[in-house]
């Protein structure tokens, strides 16, 4: 009989499911070296956020088939190490969807009616009704930033309460937004028109301090903002100033830049702000849901069935995985690259397998390309299982083609993305020791290995361009690691690809486009 180790506290419902197919040992006090010492006895490991599943644990888990995280993230699991060992890693990406959405809705209502302060007032023996005159949400405008699963549920409930819905999500189609009863608008218009703003987006370099002093200054004096997503999306100091100065009416926060919340100006604000200690997923139902979800997946894998929410590559044997892994990494890298070049909302993705690659299975490569394409929007929430579903929900049309006649490389992959801001195409291949190379950008031939930070320019092929760009970057202390130019004809258009050591400083992209002869410029972070 299979053996499962549960090393963090989970709901009993999950243990009951595991007990149907395996012997379950619950030990929630293991030290890291103790876990390494015993994990070799087990076929499955179930955790929450406490256990750190390191490379050493995975190497010692010689019988492990699956690692299950009863929650959304898998930051405490070395997923690449597990993938190399052919171990499936699963999580529960939707287990706390309703809990998080309901907490945001509860914050909207509690903030509108001053419920926490009114409750405290009555318990002090007071009967002060005038101080707590509130506001109705009926017919008010709700701006939803992020129309994923949580944002979509908020939209459905808010619509039923009679609210007018605005939404900002550059990765959602207009049709999908309309299905939810939302008017899709840009971020500036949303903050200017919304009476309430609720955030449902991941924290990324692009969304860090998305709500800053400039954004807060654009809001209505009666506007209220709610964040039950991730700390750091709001500049908390700027928010405190805006509320104290009466620039906005209030805020309700469940997440913070630093947790637990320490010495913060937010604490000195009265009934205009509500602060809760990261309770978005803290419901009995959510804790039970994630335990059941992950336990069912562990049970299925132990019975030889596929997992439904694997974050690495489900359903592939280690041998097949070893063969496809480099090509899937190629597809994911190209998808990430073309998604950033295209920008905005992507409407279609054409995936073309070329040369010898045209004889291989296309589905794993398409899924990997979609995972890369959606990474900027979803980060760790997108995986090889849900990438196709997420793409479909965003109205992205996927086209698969093959071209076995391509002879420039033994096998290459071509991706073309069309979106609200235009069309871009990238081609890549595995060269040398199966290393990834970019071989074509928008029809211009190149031979460049991708790097973490890259800059691409479209320019006229004319003397002085390279020197001017290099001087400009140097004046901003940007160091160029490598540079290559691709062109079709002499003195025609050309593409320049530069690998740089650090991200470009703010404002420099606009200066690059001002250089005579440079028509456009794009930065990419891989």
Q: Is residue 399 within 8 Å of 346, Cβ to Cβ?
A: no
User: Lowest mean pLDDT: which of 158-162, 163-167, 312-316, 481-485?
Assistant: 312-316
Work out the pLDDT band at 8, boundaries 50, 70, 90: very high
pLDDT at 203: 85
466-520 residue pLDDT tens: 999 999 999 999 999 999 999 989 989 999 999 999 999 888 999 999 999 999 9
Same domain, 427 and 456: no
Q: Which residues pair with 455 in a beta bridge?
A: 498, 523
Structure confidence by residue, pLDDT tens digits, 112-155: 999 999 999 999 999 999 999 999 999 999 999 999 989 999 99
Q: Are residues 195 and 172 in the same domain?
A: yes
What is the reported pLDDT for 320? 57
Q: 194-228: per-residue pLDDT in tens?
A: 999 999 998 888 899 999 999 999 999 999 999 99
Higher-pLDDT residue of 190, 91: 190
Identify the CA nearest to 270 among candidates 108, 105, 118. 118
Percent of the chain surpassing pLDDT 70 = 98
- What is the tens place of the pLDDT at every residue in 349-364? 999 999 988 888 788 8
Indicate whether 433 and 374 sit together in one domain. Answer: yes
Looking at the structure, do residues 106 and 255 belong to the same domain, yes or no? yes
Q: Quote the pTM value.
A: 0.75
Q: How many domains does the chain have?
A: 4
> How high is the mean pLDDT of the chain?
92
The per-residue pLDDT for range 292-306, each reduced to its tens digit, is 999 999 999 999 887
259 in catalytic set: yes
Q: What's the pLDDT at 29?
A: 92
Average pLDDT (221-242) is: 96
Same domain, yes or no: 393 and 503: no
User: 321 and 307 share a domain?
Assistant: no
What is the helix (H) or strand (E) element at residue 278, kind and residue range? none
Per-residue confidence (pLDDT) for residue 321, from 0 to 100: 57
Regarding whether 176 and 50 lie in a shared domain, the answer is no
Q: Is 216 helix (H, G, I), strand (E, B) or coil?
A: helix
CA dist 218 → 212, 247, 516 (Å): 10, 9, 35
Catalytic residue (one of 126, 175, 206, 259): 259
Burial of 266 from C-beta contacts in 10 A (0-12 / 13-18 / 19+): middle
Position 313 confidence tier, pLDDT thresholds 50, 70, 90: low
Known catalytic membership, residue 296: no
Omega cis (within 30) before 260: yes
| Domain shared by 50 and 190, yes or no | no
323 and 423 both lie in a single domain? yes
Q: What is the CATH number of the domain that holds 396?
A: 3.30.1330.90
**Catalytic residue status for 230:** yes
Catalytic residue among 230, 345, 394, 414: 230
Q: What is the extent of the structural domain holding 430? A: 316-448
Residue 486 is predicted with a pLDDT of 93
pLDDT tens digit sequence for 366-378: 989 999 999 988 8
Which one from 84, 278, 379, 402 is the annotated catalytic residue?
Answer: 278
Task: Report which of residues 382 and 477 the model is more confident about.
Answer: 477
143 and 251 share one domain:
yes
């Amino acid at each position: 009989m299979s053996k499962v180790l549960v090393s963090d506290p989970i709901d009993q419902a999950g243990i009951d499911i595991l007990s149907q197919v395996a012997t379950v040992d619950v030990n929630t006090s293991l030290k890291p070296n103790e876990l390494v010492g015993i994990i070799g006895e087990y076929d499955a490991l179930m955790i929450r956020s406490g256990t750190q599943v390191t490379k050493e644990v995975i190497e010692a888990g010689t019988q492990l088939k699956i690692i299950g995280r009863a929650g959304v993230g898998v930051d405490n699991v070395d997923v690449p190490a597990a993938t190399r060992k052919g171990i499936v890693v699963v999580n529960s990406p939707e287990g706390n969807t309703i809990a998080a959405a309901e907490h945001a809705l509860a914050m909207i209502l509690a903030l509108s009616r001053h419920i926490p302060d009114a409750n405290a007032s009555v318990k002090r023996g007071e009967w002060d009704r005038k101080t707590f005159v509130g506001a109705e949400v009926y017919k008010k405008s709700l701006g939803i930033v992020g129309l994923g699963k949580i944002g979509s549920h908020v939209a459905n409930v808010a619509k039923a309460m009679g609210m007018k819905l605005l939404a900002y999500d550059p990765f959602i189609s207009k049709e999908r937004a309309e299905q939810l009863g939302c008017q899709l608008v840009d971020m500036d218009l949303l903050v200017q028109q919304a009476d309430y703003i609720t955030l449902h987006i991941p924290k990324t370099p692009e969304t860090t301090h998305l709500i800053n002093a400039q954004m807060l200054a654009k809001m209505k004096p009666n506007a209220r903002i709610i964040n039950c997503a991730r700390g750091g999306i709001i500049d908390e100091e700027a928010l405190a100033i805006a509320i104290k100065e009466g620039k906005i009416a209030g805020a309700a926060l469940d997440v913070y830049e630093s947790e637990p919340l320490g010495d913060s100006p937010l604490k000195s604000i009265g009934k205009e702000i509500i602060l809760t200690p990261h309770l978005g997923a803290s419901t009995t139902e959510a804790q039970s849901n994630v335990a059941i979800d992950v336990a069912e997946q562990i049970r299925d894998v132990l019975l030889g069935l596929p997992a439904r929410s694997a974050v690495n590559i489900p359903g592939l044997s280690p041998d097949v995985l070893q063969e496809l892994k480099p090509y899937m990494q190629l597809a994911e890298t190209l998808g990430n690259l073309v998604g950033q070049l295209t920008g905005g909302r992507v409407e279609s993705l054409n995936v073309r397998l070329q040369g010898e690659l045209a004889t291989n299975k296309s589905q794993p490569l398409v899924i990997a390309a979609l995972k890369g394409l959606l990474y900027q929007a979803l980060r760790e929430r997108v995986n090889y299982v849900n990438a196709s579903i997420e793409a479909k929900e965003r109205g992205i049309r996927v086209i698969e083609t093959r071209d076995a006649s391509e002879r420039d490389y033994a096998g290459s992959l071509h991706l073309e993305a069309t979106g609200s801001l235009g069309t871009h195409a990238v081609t890549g291949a595995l060269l040398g020791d199966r290393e990834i190379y970019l071989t074509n950008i928008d029809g211009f031939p190149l031979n460049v290995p991708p790097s973490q930070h890259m800059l691409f320019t479209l320019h006229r092929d004319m003397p002085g361009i390279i020197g001017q760009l290099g001087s400009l970057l140097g004046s901003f202390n940007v160091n160029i690691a490598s540079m290559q130019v691709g062109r079709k004809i002499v003195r025609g258009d050309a593409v320049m690809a530069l690998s740089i050591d650090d991200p470009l400083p703010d404002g420099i992209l606009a200066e690059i486009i001002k250089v005579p002869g440079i028509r456009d410029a794009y930065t990419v972070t891989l």
